[in-house]
Structure 1
Amino acid sequence: MYHLTALVTCLALLAYFLISFQVGKARATYGVKAPAVSGNPDFERIYRVQMNMLEWMPVFLPALWLFAIYVSDAIAAALGVVWIIGRILYMIGYTKAANKRGPGFGIQASAAIILWLGATIGILWRLIHA
């Protein structure tokens, strides 16, 4: 069973939901009516936080689960928490200024790459040693 990875998956989805909620609040705060996604730089940064997370989730989630299956549930979950922390730091930095998004982006990208690389190596290892 992969209880830790499942819990981290739920936490990642919660983080995405909360970030999406921030976009709705920002629409009201900055007067950006749907379907517009531009017009106020403060709104646009919050919107890009949500979109960037959405863009990374198809990389993160399969890599997270494949790593859990082929390497370790606990390590996958730990890396998943690092990814979530990176996403939160990305949000905090980017909502202040675009040039402050780098550290959070680097953390989450590194975690995702480690998950993908570990999963790939784990799969190949099992194929070779099957």
Structure 2
Amino acid sequence: MYHFTALVTLLAILVYFYSSVLVSQARGKFGVKLPAISGNPDFERVFRAQMNTLEWLPIFLPSLWLFAIYIGDGIAATLGLVWVVGRILYIFGYAKSVPQRSPGFATQALATIALWVGAFGAIVWRLVQG
């Protein structure tokens, strides 16, 4: 069973949902009317944080699940939590300024790379071992 990985998956989706709420709030706060996605730099940073989170989900989620299946639920969930924390830091940091997004970005990127490399290595290892 993959209960911990499932919980982290739901947390990751919650972070993405929350970033969508922040975009909606920023639209009102900074007067950016639909369908516009530009016009105010403060809004654009909040919007880009949401879009970047969406861009990383298809990299993160399969890597998370393949790592859980081939290596283990607990380790996958722990690395997944690192990704969630990194994304939260990224979203709030980016809302403040472009440079403040870097620590969160690096954290989530390293977690994703660890998940992908681990999953890939484990799959190749099993294929080689027969």
TM-score, normalising length from structure 1?
0.98
1:93 matched residue in structure 2: 93
The runs of 5 or more residues in structure 2 that have no matched partner are none
Looking at structure 2, the residues matched to 16 and 100 of structure 1 have their Cα atoms a distance apart, in angstroms, of 19
1:66 matched residue in structure 2: 66
* CA positional deviation for 1:92: 1.6
AA aligned to 2:114 is I
TM-score, normalising length from structure 2?
0.98
Looking at structure 2, the residues matched to 90 and 58 of structure 1 have their Cα atoms a distance apart, in angstroms, of 17
2:127 matched residue in structure 1: 127
Task: Show the 5 A alignment for 1:1-130.
Answer: 1-130=1-130
Bigger mean CA offset, 89-98 vs 108-117: 89-98
Query: How many pairs does the alignment contain?
Result: 130
CA RMSD of aligned residues (A): 0.6
Looking at structure 2, the residues matched to 92 and 23 of structure 1 have their Cα atoms a distance apart, in angstroms, of 12
Q: Which runs of 4+ in 1 moved over 2 A?
A: none
* CA positional deviation for 1:125: 1.0
Looking at structure 1, the residues matched to 112 and 86 of structure 2 have their Cα atoms a distance apart, in angstroms, of 10
* CA positional deviation for 1:35: 1.0
- Per-residue CA distance 1:75-129 (angstroms, 9 max, x = gap): 0000000000000111121111011111100000000000000000010111111
